[in-house]
Amino acid sequence: MTSHAPAAAGRAAPASKARRHPLLHPAAKAVLFALCLGPLAWLVWRAFAGTLGANPAEAMIRGLGDWAMRLLWITLAITPLRQWTGQPTLARFRRMLGLFAFFYASLHLLAYGWLDMGLDLADIGRDIVKRPFILMGFAAWVLLVPLAATSFNRAIKALGAKRWQVLHRLVYVISVVGLMHFIWMRAGKNNFAEPAVYGGILAVLLGWRVWKKVKG
């Protein structure tokens, strides 16, 4: 029995070390959940405090849209970050980040329909068709719906891993369409600085994937 003690201790040590890793802590997902809700809480607080500026409706709509895009970019960054940092445990946060991107995109669409269009569905429909940047934003949200609806283990089993992976590659299309929505929206005020930053980050994230595919 004593001969097995060192081996058992050796196995216990890595397991104990893994449990101590911050990314594997049971509270890690709860902390991320709270952090993802932080921007919404901040926007709501500013709305009630009257500090959203001269056009609070526009500030709320744009703020929600900005966070939808940021969270989508962060979701796309998980895979390269896993490899660059040697932290495969980052993958456990990807689903939550993706769902929060959809959550903020849905709030962005709701805020537009409610605060800007008074929930008049006919007017919303005409506005979507009339203005290309709104059409692109709406298209990005529509494409996000099946991804959010199948972001659960049961959906993976029902679709099969290969079909599920093919479906979720839509995220690359969504990111490009979302960026076009952002660029066209800012083009109305000749403001291209921020879209250029988001575009540069997306080019790195998608370019890295192309490079890995060609290399591998």
Q: What is the band of 19 on the pLDDT scale with cuts at 50, 70, 90?
A: low
| pLDDT for the residue 101 | 98
In one letter, which amino acid is 6? P
Count Cβ atoms below 10 Å from residue 188 Cβ, excluding itself: 9
What ranges in 86-131 are assigned the alpha helix state H? 94-111, 121-130
Distance CA 113, CA 61 (A): 10
Q: What is the mean pLDDT of residues 115-136?
A: 95
Q: What is the mean pLDDT of residues 101-109?
A: 98
Q: What is the band of 78 on the pLDDT scale with cuts at 50, 70, 90?
A: very high
Would you list the domain boundaries of the chain? 31-215
In this structure, of 5-14, 66-75, 117-126, 138-147, the range with the lowest mean pLDDT score is 5-14
More confident residue, 16 or 99: 99
92 contacts 78 by C-beta, under 8 angstroms? no
% of the chain with per-residue pLDDT over 70 = 91
| pLDDT for the residue 86 | 87
In this structure, of 72-76, 118-122, 184-188, the range with the lowest mean pLDDT score is 184-188
| pLDDT for the residue 191 | 80
Q: What is the mean pLDDT of residues 88-110?
A: 96
More confident residue, 77 or 6: 77
Distance CA 73, CA 171 (A): 10
Q: What is the mean pLDDT of residues 44-72?
A: 96
Global pTM reads 0.88
More confident residue, 101 or 192: 101
Q: Which helix (H) or strand (E) holds 167?
A: helix 161-168
Residue 63 has pLDDT above 60, yes or no: yes
- Using CB atoms within 10 Å of the CB of residue 166, give its burial: 0 to 12 exposed, 13 to 18 middle, 19+ buried: exposed
Residue 13 has pLDDT above 80, yes or no: no
